[in-house]
Structure 1
Amino acid sequence: MASDDPAAPPGIGGVVAVVVTWNRRELLTRCLDAVLGQTHRPSRVVIVDNASDDGTAALLADLYAALPGVQIVRTIENIGGAGGFALGLEFALGGAGDTAWLLDDDTVPTAGALQALVGARTAYRTLTGTTPVLVASRAVWTDGRDHPMNTPRPKPGASADEATAAAAVGCIPIRTASFVSILVDLDRTREVGLPEAGFFLWNDDFEFTARLVRGHRAVYCPGSTVVHETKKFGGADADPGPRFHLEVRNKVWTFGRSRGLSAPEKVLYGGATARRWARTIMRSTDRSTLIRGLGQGLRAGLSGGPRPTSVVLTEALGPDPAVGSLQPRPPQPRREDGFAVLMSVYAGDRADFFEAAFRSVTADQTVPPDQVVLVIDGPLPQALNSRIEEVVAATQVPVTLVRLPVNGGLGPALRAGLAHSEHELVARMDADDVSLPTRFEVQVPMVRGGLDLVGSALLEFEDDPQVISRRRAVHTDPAQIQTGARFRQTLNHPSVVFRASAVEAAGGYQDLPSLEDYLLFARMIHAGARVGNVAEPLVLYRVGAGSYARRGGLRLLRSELALQREFRRTGFTTRLQMMRNLVIRGGYRVAPEGLRKAGYGTFFARRDRGSGRG
């Protein structure tokens, strides 16, 4: 990782500073000059201008845009601090660097602030063998007093070992922190996701850092000092005025929906929050406004959840050609001859896996495609981006690149990519699997012969495609495919070839994490699509580390519940079938990983025996 500090150890030195601003030109200048003047200078600086209308855009263009390592991202609407930091982190994840330094635009770091954060992180790792996923600065007000708004509380229930290790490097264990000045681990950020952009303002940092730190370690580093130049000196219980409803709504979302806090922590922090709200209302000179805000926030928090971060960021960037256009492609007649391959790649994909997957559907096929639509789902690490450029330049197959400015997930990415297919017949391919050479020779004629959707059996592998761990068999009788879909996915998504018109007639790919394929295929079956499967395995499917963990958890349980509600709403399942699915499939999602893996293996072993295929 690049670093301007030659003494920075490998894996620690690549820091991306992220500054979010809105209508604070003078404060922003002091903040950025201090960031760029650090003794340990960041390798990159991402500045998110939240649609400022006070001349900030001109200021940034004149003074900072041409500086090396500085990237300016301007939104077309104000998406609040929550959206701004989510967007900044998305761009930080797309390039070199293993940590991000998050700062508000009214924060002025002292010259050694970042060096102290990096030093504490390095020292803690050297001492314990564990790297803290978050290191927070000491925030003071303009008169030098500790700022009560940004002073993290010691972690409740921290073990003696945690306290001793933190003290040995001059730090204190903490559980959460604010975005005023924190150094966060980008690998961990990839695991837990971005801040909730739908929060807009307040508690986005609390929810995100709770999620980031859960099960890991974080420390407060008093040796790293920043000046938080707020207009007034005050803490979290200062009178918030008409915006109190945002504080209430976002806390309700955090305690009710976020996976950042355990049940005991929700009780602890929830009780503290209720006491603080009561104290704030009692001290207020305008209690009626706060009471109305309390009711408004409770209603909003209990009636629904925040808008998806991917949607907020996509709308905020708009069709800016500098970051990629999200405008739909004008409808054009698709060609009946030939076929296209639809792939999506994102920052978490490996360059070598992608290259092998791409080669397997192009040069290695006995019948190669006539087009590859490759969706770049958000910013990519430089190594992956360079490999993609090399692969695209070397192939004989025409490639259509569809670049999305932010990572929105597989469903939205495939929906965007499908709009760019020049062919009616489209084959799906994941960026880490391997298609066998005769795949398209077998499947494409079946679709040309009258089917709308054709899948195949899979061979699963973990690291080496030559070492098969399991065969995932399929039903080939259309009636069994259709009937079985009421309970489980009967077509393996990484193996399918389909008619684009049939997919679009069923509503296309939707944003339903990990279950977008099941929802689409069920809709197609319900609409009368003609389906089939090839008994012969035509794809080698990678099941690496974490594969079974990703098949469960609260996030996937929410997708499962949404899926079953949609099935019932459209009449695809009966009420009894829905109840069965919720009990069995919902139970599978929340079962321990070991039990989930054993149940999955037993299920497919039984299917293999039942179909008469080894």
Structure 2
Amino acid sequence: MDNLYAVVVTYNRADLLRNLLDSFARLGTGPARIIVVDNASTDHTADVVAAAAAAGGPPIRYERLGENLGGAGGFSRGVELALESGAEWLWLMDDDVEVLPGAVEALEKFTPEYSCLIGRRYDANGKPFFWQHHFVDALGIFLPVSGDVFRHSDVFRTNVGNFEGMLVSAAVARSIGLPDPRFFITWDDAVYGWLAAQQTPVVYVNAFVIKKVRAQRQVDLGLRHLNDSSDLSRRYVMRNRGHVAQYLRARGKFNPPGFAAGTALTFLKEIVRLVLVERTLKGTGALWQGWRESRAILADTGWKPMPPVPAFPGSGAERD
């Protein structure tokens, strides 16, 4: 892959970030550059980045935001910087993962045919993490696909994204626009993949390239994993249903009764998560708050999707 840029978003996880940057340095074939977007961390993140940059490995560009814009805002800024710098491929990932040896070579095998793909990952215990989903337009939610999707092929056609290793070409990123910072957290990566799928095949490939490092409480339901969450995440899971609906509406795919059913299923899934993973119902207030906020977003007649990105926006766009 020519001019591959890794875009990493971090917030107060300096030690996890150090591990990720160390894993990049161990790659035989690594990215041409790493862009680290720091969501106004208050820990020693800046020191970790400086040490990694001094130690060698891929060059690092560090940008500390003035405020926490969430994962969505961080990826929006990181993708913008990568495109302005002339990246041809963007590898998007959170700070709580590490890249596995041979990851770039494993993904590169699929890039002659596909311009948006997601590799497989292990969980913190070193076991394969279940992730094989399909977005159902009529419901406005993504559902797990049962069975072994790689039984007959190393490529599974999907239509959602995941910012734990999603690889996308710059041409696709420019066409669909930057990740939408209005999501703040949750749904941003799923919708970004869905937008890409409206114009090009998005695929999940049978290559383990990422390991999740941060341990999470989880329940394996067979068909899917449910991880622990937080009141903030629960609120935004429901709140961002408004943005999901607006994107569907902008593409002429919004089905009000079906979307209402999808919202009810989303609420139910979060209740199941609370009961089975966190063994409490104290987070239901955050769910209701998010749902009320989603109604206001859905009613916003001035809402617009993210615009396409010009090849090199601004008169002072840099190439490095």
Q: Which one has a bigger Cα radius of gyration?
A: 1
Match of 1:286 in 2: 280
Q: Which has the higher helix share?
A: 1
Contact 1:48 1:73 (8 Å CA) reproduced? yes
Amino acid at match of 2:235: H
Amino acid at match of 1:24: R
The 3-state SS of whatever aligns with 2:237 is helix
The 3-state SS of whatever aligns with 1:120 is coil
Tell me which of 89, 96, 107 is aligned to 1:99.
89
Match of 1:298 in 2: 291
CA distance in 1, matches of 2:117, 2:260: 24
CA distance in 2, matches of 1:134, 1:307: 27
CA distance in 2, matches of 1:288, 1:294: 10
User: Aligned in 2, Cα 1:267/1:31: closer, same or farther, shift over 3 Å?
Assistant: farther
Match of 2:128 in 1: 146
Tell me which of 246, 252, 256 is aligned to 1:256.
246
User: Quick check: 1:29 aligned with 2:22?
Assistant: no
Match of 2:169 in 1: 185
Structure 2 unaligned spans of 5+? 138-149, 219-223
Match of 2:202 in 1: 218
Cα deviation, residue 268, structure 1: 6.8
With normalisation by structure 1, the TM-score equals 0.43
Post-superposition Cα deviations, 1:78-122, rounded to whole Å, max 9, x if no partner, equal: 111111111110011012321100111111111111221121122
CA distance in 1, matches of 2:135, 2:70: 28
User: Aligned in 2, Cα 1:117/1:260: closer, same or farther, shift over 3 Å?
Assistant: farther
Amino acid at match of 1:377: G
User: Quick check: 1:19 aligned with 2:8?
Assistant: yes
CA distance in 1, matches of 2:215, 2:208: 22
1:37-186 counterparts in 2 under 5 A?
37-64=26-53, 67=56, 69-122=59-112, 125=113, 132-148=114-130, 151-153=131-133, 170-186=154-170
Cα deviation, residue 295, structure 1: 2.1
Contact 2:231 2:286 (8 Å CA) reproduced? yes
User: Aligned in 2, Cα 1:296/1:101: closer, same or farther, shift over 3 Å?
Assistant: same
Cα deviation, residue 168, structure 1: 8.2
User: Quick check: 1:198 aligned with 2:182?
Assistant: yes
User: Aligned in 2, Cα 1:259/1:279: closer, same or farther, shift over 3 Å?
Assistant: closer
Percent sequence identity is: 25
Cα deviation, residue 225, structure 1: 2.4
Cα deviation, residue 232, structure 1: 1.3
CA distance in 2, matches of 1:62, 1:262: 49
Cα deviation, residue 179, structure 1: 0.1
CA distance in 1, matches of 2:292, 2:316: 36
Match of 2:314 in 1: 377
Contact 1:172 1:220 (8 Å CA) reproduced? yes
CA distance in 2, matches of 1:347, 1:174: 27
Structure 1 unaligned spans of 5+? 1-11, 126-131, 158-165, 311-345, 350-375, 384-614
With normalisation by structure 2, the TM-score equals 0.79
281-290 vs 101-110, which moves further: 281-290
User: Aligned in 2, Cα 1:65/1:209: closer, same or farther, shift over 3 Å?
Assistant: farther
CA distance in 2, matches of 1:88, 1:187: 16
Post-superposition Cα deviations, 1:274-333, rounded to whole Å, max 9, x if no partner, equal: 32421431552432531x2222112212213699999xxxxxxxxxxxxxxxxxxxxxxx
CA distance in 2, matches of 1:13, 1:269: 40
Amino acid at match of 1:136: I
Tell me which of 238, 241, 246 is aligned to 2:236.
246
User: Aligned in 2, Cα 1:265/1:113: closer, same or farther, shift over 3 Å?
Assistant: farther
261-270 vs 292-301, which moves further: 261-270
1:380-391 counterparts in 2 under 5 A?
380=317, 382=319
User: Aligned in 2, Cα 1:100/1:253: closer, same or farther, shift over 3 Å?
Assistant: same
Count matched residues: 292
Cα deviation, residue 17, structure 1: 0.7
CA distance in 1, matches of 2:49, 2:123: 26
Post-superposition Cα deviations, 1:560-612, rounded to whole Å, max 9, x if no partner, equal: xxxxxxxxxxxxxxxxxxxxxxxxxxxxxxxxxxxxxxxxxxxxxxxxxxxxx
The 3-state SS of whatever aligns with 2:292 is helix
Contact 2:80 2:178 (8 Å CA) reproduced? yes
Post-superposition Cα deviations, 1:462-518, rounded to whole Å, max 9, x if no partner, equal: xxxxxxxxxxxxxxxxxxxxxxxxxxxxxxxxxxxxxxxxxxxxxxxxxxxxxxxxx
CA distance in 2, matches of 1:268, 1:218: 24
Amino acid at match of 2:187: N
Amino acid at match of 1:286: T
CA distance in 1, matches of 2:21, 2:55: 14
Contact 1:83 1:197 (8 Å CA) reproduced? yes
Cα deviation, residue 262, structure 1: 5.8
Contact 1:65 1:72 (8 Å CA) reproduced? no
User: Aligned in 2, Cα 1:33/1:286: closer, same or farther, shift over 3 Å?
Assistant: same
Cα deviation, residue 41, structure 1: 1.3
User: Aligned in 2, Cα 1:271/1:26: closer, same or farther, shift over 3 Å?
Assistant: same
Tell me which of 329, 335, 348 is aligned to 2:311.
348
User: Aligned in 2, Cα 1:174/1:378: closer, same or farther, shift over 3 Å?
Assistant: farther
Amino acid at match of 1:134: C
CA distance in 2, matches of 1:269, 1:144: 36
Q: CA RMSD in A?
A: 3.2
